[in-house]
Structure 1
Amino acid sequence: METTFFDLGISKSLIKGLKELNIKTPTQIQEQAIPVLLKNDNDFIGLAQTGTGKTAAFGLPILQNINPKKEHVQALILAPTRELVQQIQKQLFKFTKYCDDAIFAEGVYGGEKMDIQLKRLQRKTHIIVATPGRLLDFIERGEVDIKQINTLVLDEADEMLSMGFKEDLNKILKYTKGSRHTWLFSATMPEEIQKIVKTYMSPNAIQIEIDKNSLVNANISHHYIVTSIKEKVNMITRLLDKCNDDRGIIFVRTKAGAMQLTETLKGEGFSIDCLQGDMQQKERDKVMRAFKNESLQYLISTDVSARGIDVNNLAFVIHHQLPDQMEYYTHRSGRTARAGKTGASIALIISGEEQDIQKMQKDLDIKFKQMTL
Structure 2
Amino acid sequence: MTIPKPSPSTEPSPESLTFAELGVNAALCSVLPAALKHPTRVQQLAIPAILAGRDVLALSQTGSGKTLAFGLPLLQAIHQQLESVSSSASNAQALILVPTRELAQQVTMALHALASKLSSSLKIQLLSGGIAQEEQLAELAAKPQLVVATPGRLLDLCTQSHLSLDSIKYLVLDEADRLLEMGFWPDVQKLMAMMPKCKQTLLFSATLPEALDSLAGKLLSNNPLRVEASTRNAVAAEIEERLYLVNKGSKAQALIALLKQYQWPQVLVFISARDDADAIAKRLVKAGINATALHGEQDQTVRSQTLADFKAHRIQVVVATDLMARGIHVDALPVVINLDLPTSAPVYVHRIGRTARAGANGLAISLVCHGEMPSLTAIRNLTARELPLASLADFPVTDKPSERVREDGTDNKVAPKRPPRDKQANRRSLNKLSIKAFKGKR
TM-score of the two chains, using structure 1 as the length reference: 0.88
Structure 2: which amino acid aligns with 1:76?
L
Q: Deviations over 1:136-173 (max 9, x none)?
A: 12111111111121111111223446794333222212
Aligned-partner Cα distance in 2 for 1:97–1:366: 43
Match of 1:223 in 2: 242
Match of 2:303 in 1: 284
Match of 1:310 in 2: 329
CA contact (8 A) 1:321 1:347 kept: yes
C-alpha spacing 1:195/1:138, structure 2 compared with 1 (3 Å): farther
Deviates more, 1:143-152 or 1:291-300: 291-300
Deviates more, 1:259-268 or 1:169-178: 259-268
Aligned-partner Cα distance in 2 for 1:249–1:364: 21
SS in structure 2 opposite 1:17?
coil
C-alpha spacing 1:252/1:312, structure 2 compared with 1 (3 Å): same
Aligned-partner Cα distance in 2 for 1:92–1:226: 42
Aligned-partner Cα distance in 2 for 1:305–1:87: 12
CA contact (8 A) 1:81 1:308 kept: no
* 1:330 to 2:349 alignment: yes
SS in structure 2 opposite 1:242?
helix
C-alpha spacing 1:136/1:227, structure 2 compared with 1 (3 Å): same
Following superposition, the deviation at residue 343 of structure 1 comes to 2.2
CA contact (8 A) 2:264 2:335 kept: no
Of 17, 26, 30 in structure 1, the residue corresponding to residue 43 of structure 2 is 30
Match of 1:255 in 2: 274
CA contact (8 A) 1:17 1:97 kept: no
CA contact (8 A) 2:332 2:360 kept: yes
SS in structure 1 opposite 2:357?
coil
Structure 2: give runs of 5+ residues left out of the alignment.
1-14, 394-442
Aligned-partner Cα distance in 1 for 2:125–2:182: 23
CA contact (8 A) 2:127 2:136 kept: yes
Of 63, 66, 86 in structure 2, the residue corresponding to residue 54 of structure 1 is 66
C-alpha spacing 1:172/1:193, structure 2 compared with 1 (3 Å): farther
Q: How many residues align?
A: 371
Equivalent residues in 2 for 1:8-27, closer than 5 Å: 8-18=22-32, 20-27=33-40
Aligned-partner Cα distance in 2 for 1:84–1:327: 17
Deviates more, 1:186-195 or 1:328-337: 186-195
C-alpha spacing 1:147/1:358, structure 2 compared with 1 (3 Å): same
Equivalent residues in 2 for 1:1-373, closer than 5 Å: 2-18=16-32, 20-40=33-53, 42-66=54-78, 67-68=81-82, 69=85, 70-96=89-115, 102-160=121-179, 164-190=183-209, 193-194=212-213, 196-202=215-221, 205-212=224-231, 215-351=234-370, 353=372, 357=376, 360-369=379-388, 370-373=390-393
Following superposition, the deviation at residue 116 of structure 1 comes to 2.3
Aligned-partner Cα distance in 1 for 2:206–2:23: 26
SS in structure 2 opposite 1:232?
helix
CA contact (8 A) 1:13 1:98 kept: no
SS in structure 1 opposite 2:38?
coil
SS in structure 2 opposite 1:230?
helix
Structure 2: which amino acid aligns with 1:277?
G
CA contact (8 A) 1:163 1:304 kept: no
TM-score of the two chains, using structure 2 as the length reference: 0.76
Aligned-partner Cα distance in 1 for 2:144–2:372: 52
Deviates more, 1:321-330 or 1:305-314: 305-314
C-alpha spacing 1:296/1:163, structure 2 compared with 1 (3 Å): farther
Following superposition, the deviation at residue 103 of structure 1 comes to 2.7
CA contact (8 A) 1:217 1:337 kept: yes
Structure 1: give runs of 5+ residues left out of the alignment.
none
Following superposition, the deviation at residue 182 of structure 1 comes to 0.9
Aligned-partner Cα distance in 2 for 1:48–1:144: 32
Q: Deviations over 1:47-86 (max 9, x none)?
A: 1133222222212222332321151222111223334334
Deviates more, 1:191-200 or 1:230-239: 191-200
Aligned-partner Cα distance in 2 for 1:214–1:314: 21
Structure 2: which amino acid aligns with 1:372?
L
C-alpha spacing 1:227/1:245, structure 2 compared with 1 (3 Å): closer
Q: Deviations over 1:267-292 (max 9, x none)?
A: 22222111223222122223223322
SS in structure 2 opposite 1:225?
strand
CA contact (8 A) 2:233 2:346 kept: no
Identity among equivalent positions (%) equals: 34
Aligned-partner Cα distance in 2 for 1:275–1:90: 20
Aligned-partner Cα distance in 1 for 2:196–2:94: 13
SS in structure 2 opposite 1:246?
coil
